[in-house]
Chain A
Amino acid sequence: MTKIDSKIPAGPLAQKWALYKEHQNLVNPANKRKIDIIVVGTGLAGGAAAASLGELGFNVKVFCIQDSPRRAHSIAAQGGINAAKNYPNDGDTIYRLFYDTIKGGDYRAREANVYRLAEVSNNIIDQCVAQGVPFAREYSGYLANRSFGGALVSRTFYARGQTGQQLLLGAYGALSKEIKRGSVKLYTRREMLDLVISDEGKARGIIARNLLTGEVERYGAHAVLLATGGYGNVYFLSTNAMTSNGSAAWRAYKRGAWFANPCYVQIHPTCIPVHGSYQSKLTLMSESLRNDGRIWVPKKKEDAEKVQKGELRPRDIPDEDRDYYLERRYPAFGNLVPRDVASRAAKERCDAGYGVGNTGLAVFLDFKDAINRLGKDVIKARYGNLFDMYERIVDDNPYETPMMIYPAIHYSMGGLWVDYELQSNIPGLFVGGEANFSDHGANRLGASALMQGLSDGYFVLPYTMQNYLADQITVGAIPTNTPEFDAAEKAVKERIQKLMSVNGTETVDALHKRLGLIMWDYVGMARNKEGLKKAIADIQVLRKEFWGKVRVPGSTDGINIELEKALRLADFLELGELMARDALHREESAGGHFREEFQTPEGEALRNDKDFMYVGAWEYTGDDQEPRLNKEVLQYENIEVKTRNYKTA
């Protein structure tokens, strides 16, 4: 097993980042011009990093899959962004945000990284306000806060139900400024299909496909940053955007980068339930709704059955016949327990036969009490756009009847392994945002994804990448006519040709839906040994079927959306297997990873700290070979590791 060096600086926790910055290498302004950096992805992490690196004077090439950097999927984040400002004077501190994040992640994240995240959280809010992000404000003119799951304080800043949009547009503005200045060059409608590693073992470029012309292009740089988001679409149905995919990370993995904790995926408790087989995606209803909405199912099974058949309306069920199961099971946190806990509790009630909706796979999120207490206008001001969205999709009015919700795949905590500098085990390959594994352990708290993306992009990578690049100033421009670029481009073209030549009978989506069902049934909210073994076998069979039966019409020139989807699915069919392997090996329940064999008599997750308090970093060893597991043992020097408790404060 390879010895893992996570490069955590020495010194007390609260001083590590300051000490790192004091001693790191820097590149002088004149030399920055000689350095090229590739950034793949223009969401919060990629957009913020590209803008900040451009401001510093580096030559940045930034790539996005959509027609504009403003459309990255960060835009869809609704609820908010956490920071330890303590503006409400309710007892928040940097340490408390750090502590809540480690605990929320079920003690499976690295202390030093998480502390740094909490430390720079306040700078993010300052930065975004300076950019003109229109955060919600109180009548005093000062910033407003609300609470999110897993916290006892109100530390979440928000811009109505469109916080991700506003933060992304802030980063997009900063990026646009640098594009105009000429420090950043923008490449839209490009998809990275391989990472190029030099003969010295350094990341030196990418192979990308121009999605408009179909041309396969080469780009070289002194360092590569992947900020390509998560892999939730391996489940087919998720809250991710349609083009969100795991291919950039997976290609890096196949070039030697370790993939850490792939089994940790977040299942968000408040999504609109599945309604039909033609459905293309699931829609999230922001966690912020749990500030005022109460989650319940009928107390009596016969009531639940009547509701399922449409014979009983929820509003006709009296309060004493309702089971507010989160408030019952977790009195201290109530409806604001972390996402993994809320999702499992919903599944437990539905599996026991108390679910609602015509499938029985839904629970109520009810605003009746909040409307009675605060008035409809206040609720409308807080959540109006979410209520409207719900009504457009479901054709039901949530002001009058409770929303119906069910858990859905939302976020991947796992991702490429990175050290304290957010550098992978491949020198020169950095990974930011959801694409890395670093800060959320086994479960991410609400409003922390935006915080991490912007922390990585604005305040961490511009420092740590510079530390790496300091000795690259004499290297000169990176050539793209090397044997390594030739080989990578050839491999990409062969993969494309192979897909085109199958000429089978199954559409990409039909095969993807089948993968999604395997993943949801066996690598979803509850997992067990037998199911995971079956998932691995089933995925292997499906993968063979894919390469024998997929139909990709059209040609390799010009727009070919089916080809794009087929390339992504080919990678998901391998990534899904690694997720199942990781879940199988991790014989404990932690955060989003719930193994049915490992639970308390009350159904709470049961960790095994003695054997599994490590990051599982998987190493590629060849196609159809078992990957190698490297372990980064987690050391908690500042936090006492406990069983997570949301029942009492």
Chain B
Amino acid sequence: MDLKLKIWRQAGPTAKGQFVDYDVHNISEDASFLEMIDILNDELIEKGDDPVAFDHDCREGICGMCSMFINGHPHGPQKATTTCQLHMRKFKGGETITVEPWRAKPFPVIKDLVVDRSAFDEIIQAGGYTSATTGGVPDANAIPISKENADLAMDAAACIGCGACVAACKNASAMLFVSAKVSQFALLPQGKVEAKDRVKSMVAKMDELGFGNCTNTYACEAECPKEISITNIARMNRQFIGAKLG
């Protein structure tokens, strides 16, 4: 298929960016979206132009590195799918596709479609773990955990930290990301010991880094490639209030 692309080009963090139009031809329906961009980049390199910079790594939907905002949706139109797993059969020949970086103040653009998501690392550093050090822990089967809670914890832990939730939110809120980690530990006995401090520090760090508030539009859940549920946000709010009350 032939396609028209409108891609955000921005030379550096402080440079002024703009959309640039490109045409690509003879793209296979079985190609992934990133493979289509690879083909465009090969053509740009052959012409001596600067290829489009974009983040990607595993190309199997788990590393969370890819981050394109495609036709108004983070990771594009297909539900529960990262950009690298989006295939061209989801588009029509002749279509114009608009590609932008994540847009959120805490995720500044570095170049073209590459943004800085180190704010997520800082939030995890604020408390997104149990403080167990290596060694000196009990046998893995010493604490039975109900299958139901283990499954719910796994649902929350499936977050890949891509930032689609922030990009989808009109307030650039990181509540879905933070609540997924808070919930994972809130559901497990191992996480309960530090639960109060964890939720307070992570929320404080999130606010300090400039992420916005949650106003319940549910856009994050709708766009999350791993279908992380907003019930996690409700669980975090309960944890947070509980922690504040002492």
Contact = CB atoms under 8 A, between A and B. Distances in A.
- Central interface residue in A130, A160, A166, A212, by most chain B CB within 10 Å: A130
Interface string A31-53: 00000000000000000100110
B134 interface: yes
B204 interface: no
Contacts of A123: 135
Contact of B39 (A173, A278, A562): A278
B224 interface: no
Interface stretch (A8-16, A109-117, A290-298, A551-559): A551-559
A176 interface: yes
A174 B58 contact: no
Interface in B28-63: 28, 30-32, 34-35, 38-39, 42, 45-46, 48-51, 53, 55-63
A304 to B, nearest CB: 22
Nearest to A174: B129
B48 A141 contact: no
B62 A173 contact: no
Contacts of A162: 62, 158
B114 to A, nearest CB: 7
Given A66-B65, A137-B147, A173 B124 contact: yes
Interface stretch (A148-156, A360-368, A388-396): A388-396
A551 B150 contact: no
A509 B42 contact: yes
Nearest to A49: B134
A561 B52 CA distance: 9
A162 B64 CA distance: 13
B161 interface: yes
A125 interface: yes
B133 A166 contact: no
A87 B141 contact: yes
A52 B85 contact: no
A333 B185 CA distance: 39
Contacts of B140: 85, 125-126, 128-129, 135, 143
B245 interface: no
- Central interface residue in B49, B133, B145, B153, by most chain A CB within 10 Å: B133
Contacts of A243: 57
B179 interface: no
B3 interface: no
Contacts of A278: 28, 31, 35, 38-39
A134 B188 contact: yes
Interface string A523-559: 0000000000000000000000000000101100011
Contact of A280 (B35, B87, B111, B154): B35
A459 B134 contact: yes
A556 B235 CA distance: 48
B12 to A, nearest CB: 7
A127 B132 contact: yes
B216 interface: no
Contacts of B131: 177
Interface in B99-148: 110-111, 114, 116-118, 120-121, 124-126, 128-135, 137-141, 143-147
Given A75-B58, A176-B125, A241 B63 contact: yes
Nearest to B30: A275
A132 interface: yes
A553 B45 contact: yes
A392 B81 contact: yes
Interface size class of B (residues with CB under 8 A): 35 or more
A242 B190 contact: no
B191 interface: yes
Given A135-B150, A553-B48, A141 B130 contact: no
B121 A68 contact: yes
Contacts of A392: 61, 78, 81, 85, 87
A7 B149 CA distance: 46
Interface size class of A (residues with CB under 8 A): 35 or more
A67 interface: yes
Given A180-B125, A242-B57, A134 B184 contact: yes
A128 B132 CA distance: 10
A252 B129 CA distance: 34
Interface string A274-290: 01101111011000000
B57 A71 contact: yes
A126 B139 contact: yes
A573 interface: no
A164 B63 CA distance: 11
A510 B41 CA distance: 12
A232 to B, nearest CB: 13
A319 interface: no
Given A67-B118, A126-B137, A562 B51 contact: yes
Nearest to B155: A134
A51 B125 CA distance: 13
Contacts of B116: 67
A275 to B, nearest CB: 5
Interface in A472-493: none
Given A188-B118, A278-B35, A173 B161 contact: no
Of all A-B residue pairs in the complex, the 4 with the closest CB atoms, nearest first, are A141-B144, A173-B129, A130-B137, A134-B154
21 contacts: A71-B64, A75-B58, A76-B63, A85-B141, A126-B140, A132-B190, A162-B62, A165-B160, A242-B58, A276-B30, A278-B35, A278-B38, A278-B39, A280-B35, A281-B60, A283-B60, A284-B60, A392-B87, A395-B30, A551-B46, A562-B45
Interface of A: 48, 51-52, 55, 66-71, 73, 75-76, 85, 87, 123, 125-132, 134-143, 159-160, 162, 164-166, 169, 172-174, 176-177, 179-180, 186, 188, 212, 239, 241-243, 275-276, 278-281, 283-284, 388-389, 392-393, 395, 458-459, 462, 507, 509-510, 551, 553-554, 558-559, 561-562
